[in-house]
Amino acid sequence: MSIDSEPLLRLSNKEVGGPGFTVRVPSIHEAEYREGDRVATIEIEGGTGELGDVNWLVYSETLKSWRAPHDMEELSARKREQILQRISKAFRILDLTHEVV
């Protein structure tokens, strides 16, 4: 199933769920991707857009590995890209204007 056709559901104003994963925004500084018992975090930051609206920056380079106890498992480039796409789609569902940088 392609990322674009994955059904996602807004679970709260901070969380989106998809088939086998969730994306949660617990703070203004990070987003959390959970797949089963594996969790990865990525740094985010809110900035002001041209119209005074908040435009979130999602720092792709900060998505490096799963958190412990799975931190020794490789996060392949393909998996990393899938996670970034899912986070981006979740941000759209949460109405969080953003840019992955």
Bridge-based pairing state of the strands 54-58 and 15-18 = unpaired
Select from 39, 20, 5, 32 the least CA-distant residue to 91.
Answer: 32
Question: Contact, 22 vs 89, CB < 8 A?
Answer: no
Per-residue confidence of the chain (101 residues) as pLDDT tens digits? 556 678 999 999 999 999 999 999 999 999 999 999 999 999 999 877 777 777 899 999 999 999 999 999 999 999 999 999 999 999 999 999 999 99
The total number of structural domains that make up the chain: 1
Per the listing, tokens 């393909």 go with 78
Does residue 7 have a cis peptide bond before it, meaning omega lies within 30 degrees of 0? no
Expressed as residue numbers, the domain containing 54 is: 3-100
* pTM: predicted TM-score of the whole model, two decimal places: 0.89
